A = this chain, B = another copy of it.
């Protein structure tokens, strides 16, 4: 084990007393070799601790054996799971995963793609703010780098692995309607940078209309407000007529319940809440979360799978969306029959001190 910094195939050939070409053939099993030289080369490689330089290989074959993956942020468990799905699918192939994240920034998205392209990735798997108007992504496409989208609805020229947000949201509106809800709200974060949220809102809105319900109230929260319930509490208080909230993700669905409790409202008696994503924790809550279950891991897997076939010369074809599933939970129920102000506030007189207590600890 001489800890030589770099041992190349040249060193192996030298030690084995043969030419580089022969050593290469032995090490790759890529051509005729005599048993004798095979023995010598393998022994030399082992002794020297040789391993191929992926860079040398990449240069000569113009294949980096690397796929680039861009998501807004790994701090969002949904994206993290999807990336893990990609990874799971890539294990066993010889492809490695180069990742980047944009923190939901349009410009950063584009830069990230450029960087990945200049690293000569063999394929791309992306979730970005606006894939349809990313110059870098278009350029990658022109250069013949196959790209597979995740979470996005289909757009011209790319295959995508996604869940039908519009349809899923329609189902939520339908459930609300069946329980007799009429005045609803849609709660989301960063609507401007999330086509997913926009699609959910669109579907929810469309189905509410179709059922003759009033248009849902659109509640958009800033990043920072999401962790501090006060703002949400104020918003709820300002809309006492809402009986049901559709939250664009499960975290928000849990946050809005916290806000409701601060007002002394009880879920689902005084307010129904439905989330989106289907995180596991939702099942374990005291009042299990009603939500739409999706499969981020599968999404990543599917994106990786199609990309792999595309990289092997196959054609990138659009598969149908991944299924979603309505998880009943217990945060959705019929709205109270009685008028709001009588019912809710009266039922929980000590709401004000409660707020104080919790504000203090936050």
Contacts and interface: CB of A to CB of B under 8 A. Distances in A.
Interface string A283-325: 1111110000000010000000000000000000000000000
A21 interface: no
Given A55-B64, A97-B100, A142-B3, A255 B284 contact: yes
Interface string A220-249: 000000010100000000000000000000
A156 B141 CA distance: 47
Given A84-B101, A257-B284, A284-B254, A120 B74 contact: no
A337 interface: no
A99 B101 contact: no
Interface stretch (A28-36, A45-53, A174-182): A45-53
B59 A56 contact: yes
A328 B361 contact: yes
A96 B87 contact: no
A112 B114 CA distance: 27
Contact of A100 (B75, B87, B255, B283): B87
A143 B87 contact: no
Nearest to A54: B119
A77 interface: yes
Interface string A111-126: 0001111111000000
Interface in A1-60: 1, 3, 5-6, 49, 51-56, 58-59
Contact of A96 (B88, B119, B258): B119
Nearest to A287: B286
A287 B261 CA distance: 11
A213 B75 CA distance: 39
A139 B285 contact: no
Contacts of A229: 284
B143 A3 contact: yes
A280 interface: yes
A98 interface: yes
B120 A99 contact: no
A118 B54 contact: yes
B84 A54 contact: no
Contacts of A97: 98-100
Q: How large is the interface on A (under 10, 10 to 19, 20 to 34, 35 or more residues)?
A: 35 or more
- Residue of A96, A108, A251, A255 with most chain B CB atoms under a 10 A cut-off: A96
B75 A5 contact: no
Nearest to A253: B284
A82 to B, nearest CB: 9
A353 interface: no
Contacts of A297: 75
A73 interface: yes
A48 to B, nearest CB: 12
A212 interface: no
B114 A51 contact: yes
B261 A280 contact: no
Contacts of A120: 53-55
Contacts of A75: 80-81, 84, 297
A39 B3 CA distance: 47
Sorted nearest first, the 4 A-B pairs with minimum C-beta distance are: A80-B80, A74-B84, A3-B142, A258-B284
Given A55-B59, A56-B59, A229-B284, 11 more contacts: A53-B120, A54-B120, A55-B120, A66-B119, A74-B80, A80-B80, A87-B101, A99-B99, A251-B281, A254-B284, A254-B285
